[in-house]
Structure 1
Amino acid sequence: MQFNRKIPFAIEQDLLNWVIVVLMVLLYAPILIHWYDGWLNKNIGIEHEYFSHGLIGLPFAAYIVWTKQHQWKKLPNTSHPLGIVLILLASLFYGSGLADLVNFSFPIMLAGLCLQFKGIPGLKLQGIALVFVLLATPNHLPFLIEPLALPLQTFIAHVAGFILTQFNLDVTVEQIYLFVNGQIVEVAPHCAGLKMLFTSLYVGLMLLYWTGLLASRTLSIFFLLSAALISIIANIIRNTLLTLFHGTGQNGLFAWLHEGWGGDLYSACMLGLLVVLINQLSVITDN
C-alpha cells in the first residue's frame, strides 16, 4: 500500500512541475524574445543594450540549473514562507505594466519558486544561476549611472588626445570634446565604456565559475579588477581610433568601428583577453 501511494504522489509532483514550466513559458517567453530581439538587432533602448551580455548569460544560467538537476531532486520538498511572498511580488510586478518591474519579476519569480519547492537549500543551490539571471535583466540603472560617468568621459578624452598628439596630429581637448582637424568628437556617456565594463565583469564572473576559481575570493577579486582595467584600456584605445578616423575623414572606418560589426569584433577580442588571463591563473593555481 505504501508503494502504491508513492506512485500517485510522484505522478502528481511531475504534473505540477510541468504545469509550472508551461505557465512560466506562457508568461515569460514573450519577454525573453523581446530581450533577445532587442539585443541582436539593437532595436531596444540604449540602456537595455548594456545588458546584452544576457545573450550568453541566460543560456549559461540554464546550463547551470541543468547540471544541478540531480542535486535538486535529492533536496527534501520543503517550502519557505518567503517563497510565496516573492511569487506574489513577482505577480504584482508582472501585472504593473512598468517595463523595469515586469523585467525584474522574472528573477524574483524564479527565486520564489526555489524557496517554495526546496526552501533555503534550493535557493542556495541555484543561487549563482539566479545571480546570472538578475545581472542580465534589463533595467534603467545604467541611465541613473551615466551622469556619474563624467569624470571617466573627461579622462578618456584627455588620454585619447594625448595619444593622438604623439602622432603629430592637431588635437584640442575641451572636457569631453576632442577637436581634430576641425572635426569634433564627443566622448558621450554611452561611449564612456560602461557597457563594455558591465560585459567584462559579467563574462569574468562566468569564467570564474566555469574554472572553479570563484571559490577563491582573492583570485576572484584580482581577476575582476583586471577585467575592469582591461575594459577601460580597451575603451580608451577604441575612442582614440574613433577620434582618429573621424578627424582624418575616414568615415567608413569610423562607422565600422562605432556602429558596425567592427565594434562587436573589437569587444570579442577584448573578451578573448579575459579568457587568456583566466587560463594563466588556472595554470598558476594548478602548479
Structure 2
Amino acid sequence: MDPGVILRLGLLGGVLAAVYAPVLRDLASIWWSRDDYSHGFLVLPIAAYMVWARRSALRPLPLRGGSVWGFALVLGAAALLVVGAAGRAISLSGLSLVVMAAGLVLAVLGGSYLRALAFPIAYLLFMVPVFDELLVPLRWPLQLATARVTVGFLQTLGVSALLEQNFVVLAGKTLEVASACSGTTYLISITAIGLPLGYLVLRTWWSRLALVLWALAIGVMANWVRVILIGIWASRGGEVLHGPFEVFRAMFVSWIGVAALVAAAWGLSKLQGAAAPVAIAVPQASGPRGSLAAPHRGWQAALAVLVVLGVYTTLLDRGPVDPKEDLTAFPTSVGDWLGRRADARDAVFRVEGADQELVRVYEHPESSALQLYVAYLASQQHGKKIVDYRTAQLHEGAEIAEIALRPGHTVAVNRGHLHGPSGDRPILFWYDIDGRVITNRYLARLETMRSALVHGRTNGALVLIASERGDDRATARRLEVFARELLPQLRTYFP
C-alpha cells in the first residue's frame, strides 16, 4: 500500500481514537465491573487477529474509496454518538463506534474491503452492551427455571429444599436466584468466544451453527451447575456463598464453559476433514492498486466529520443541575402521614451513584406504614443513571395508575410489585426528567436525550413508594392517596 495512504489512514485512526476515547473508557468500566461483559477486553484483540488472519486476502484488493454510502454511514454513526452522549447511553455510543468503523472502511477503502472485514467489524458489537434489552425478557423466566432445576436436583440428592418463585429455601437458609444468576450472563460471553472460534477454525455453515447452538446450551447449563453447586455447598453448612476460594463465582464456571467450547470446536473441525483452500474473488482495479486518486474527498470528509464530532460532544454537557432545595429539607408530613428518617441501606430499592437520596418511612394513624425513596441525579453518566438494567425489575408486571391531583388533571405513574425474600411489596414509582413525570423507561431515556441536546443538562429523579405489606384494593388506594399528596410537594424541589 502506498505510504501516503498509510499516513492518511494513521491520521484518521488517531483522530478516531481521540474522539471515541471517552466511549472506550466507559466500555472498559463495564468490562471491569460486569461479569457478563468481562469478555469485552478480548473483543478488540480478537477482531484485530481476525483482520490479520485475512491479510493475504486483503493485499490484492483495490482501493475504491469515496463511496457516498460510506459517508452516509459515517454521518449516521456521528448522529448515534451525539444521541448516545446526550442520553448517557453507552449502548448507542458503543454502537456508533462499530458503525463508524464500517463507514470509514467503506468511505476510505471501498466496498471490497468492507466485505472482507464485515465479520471482524460486526464482532465488535460484543464489546458493547447492546444485548441487555434483548435479554431482559429472558432473565426472569431463566431465573425461575434455574431455581426449579436447582431444587429438583437437590431433592434428588436427598437435600431438603423448597421452591418459592426464584428462591431456593434450604434448612435454615434461603438462596435467591438473582438476575445475575439467570444465565444470560453466559449467553453473551460464551457466544462471544464461540463465534470467532467458529470463524477461524470451522469452514462449513452447519458446523459453525452447531458450535453457536452448543455455546448457547453451555451458557444455560453451566449456570445451572454453578447454582446447584452453591446449593449443595450451602446445605452442608458452607458459610461463604460462592464456595471455598470463590470457586462458584460466575468467572470460574465460565472458564469451564470456554474449555467445553474449545473441545467442541476441535471435534467439529475433525469431522470436517482436511482443510481445502478457500478462493477469494478479487475485483480487478482499473487504476493503480493502493492509490487514492479519486477518493481523496472520502478520507478528507471523514476526517472533517470526526473533528467536528469530537468538538461538539466535548461541549455537549454544561454541567450538573442541583435540586431547587436539598432533599434533606423535605417535610416530614405529607397529608395525614407523618414521616421519620430511615437508613438508606434499608431502602427497598436504590439507584447507584445518586447525588442525593431521600429515604423516609411515613405512618398513618389508620393504616400501615409506607416507605418513600427518592433518588436525584444532578447529571447522568455511565454507571450513574436513573434508567438502566437494574431498574428493569421495577417494570416487571407493572401497569399504569392514574393519580387525580385535581378535577380534570391526572398524572400517570407505575403500579407494580418489588420481589424480595419476604414476599412481594406493592409499589408506585415514576421518573421525573426535566420537570416531566414519566412512566415508560424508554421515554425517560428519550427525554434525557432531548434535555441534553436542548438544554445541555441530564438531571433526573426516581420516586418510589412501597407498602410494608398487603396486596389488596385498600393497599393500592393507600399508595395512590399518598402519591396524590406527594407529587405537588416534590415538584417544588425538582428543577
TM-score range, shorter chain: 0.7 to 0.9
Normalised to the residue count of structure 1, the TM-score between the two structures is 0.84
The two structures, once aligned, show a CA RMSD in angstroms of 2.4
106, 114, 122: which one aligns with 1:123:
114
CA shift in 2, pair 1:207/1:12, >3 Å: closer
CA shift in 2, pair 1:167/1:277, >3 Å: same
Deviation (angstroms), 1:256: 5.8
Kindly indicate whether residue 21 of structure 2 is the aligned counterpart of residue 29 of structure 1: yes
Question: Deviation per CA, 1:6-49, whole angstroms, max 9, x where unpaired?
Answer: xxx94542331121021122122343244234423x2xxx5xx5
The structure with the greater share of residues assigned to helix is 1
What's the counterpart of residue 53 of structure 1?
39
Kindly indicate whether residue 7 of structure 2 is the aligned counterpart of residue 15 of structure 1: yes
CA shift in 2, pair 1:107/1:162, >3 Å: same
74, 81, 86: which one aligns with 1:94:
81
152, 157, 174: which one aligns with 2:142:
152
CA shift in 2, pair 1:28/1:69, >3 Å: farther
User: Which amino acid is 1:91 matched to?
Assistant: A
Distance in 1 separating the partners of 2:23 and 2:138? 30
Give secondary structure in 1 for the equivalent of 2:64. Answer: coil
Deviation (angstroms), 1:209: 1.4
Deviation (angstroms), 1:156: 1.4
Query: In 2, are the aligned partners of 1:61 and 1:130 still within 8 Å (CA)?
Result: yes
Kindly indicate whether residue 67 of structure 2 is the aligned counterpart of residue 76 of structure 1: no
What's the counterpart of residue 196 of structure 1?
186
What's the counterpart of residue 282 of structure 1?
269
Give secondary structure in 2 for the equivalent of 1:77. Answer: coil
User: Which amino acid is 1:136 matched to?
Assistant: M
Query: In 2, are the aligned partners of 1:154 and 1:175 still within 8 Å (CA)?
Result: yes
Question: Deviation per CA, 1:44-85, whole angstroms, max 9, x where unpaired?
Answer: xx5xx5332222222110112233345434322213221101
CA shift in 2, pair 1:24/1:190, >3 Å: same
CA shift in 2, pair 1:221/1:13, >3 Å: closer
Question: Deviation per CA, 1:198-241, whole angstroms, max 9, x where unpaired?
Answer: 11222111211121x1x312112222222222222211111112
Question: Deviation per CA, 1:109-161, whole angstroms, max 9, x where unpaired?
Answer: 1000111123221111101101210222223x424522333222222111110
Distance in 2 separating the partners of 1:132 and 1:82? 21
Deviation (angstroms), 1:271: 0.8
Distance in 2 separating the partners of 1:257 and 1:130? 38
List, as ranges, runs of 4+ consecutive aligned residues in structure 1 with deviation greater than 6 Å.
none
166, 182, 187: which one aligns with 1:176:
166
Q: Which runs of 5 or more residues in structure 1 are unaligned?
A: 1-8
Question: What is the identity percentage for the equivalent residue pairs of Structure 1 and Structure 2?
Answer: 26
The structure with the greater share of residues assigned to strand is 2
Distance in 1 separating the partners of 2:188 and 2:125? 13
What's the counterpart of residue 5 of structure 1?
none
What's the counterpart of residue 63 of structure 1?
49
Query: In 1, are the aligned partners of 2:168 and 2:176 still within 8 Å (CA)?
Result: yes
CA shift in 2, pair 1:257/1:101, >3 Å: farther
CA shift in 2, pair 1:149/1:257, >3 Å: farther
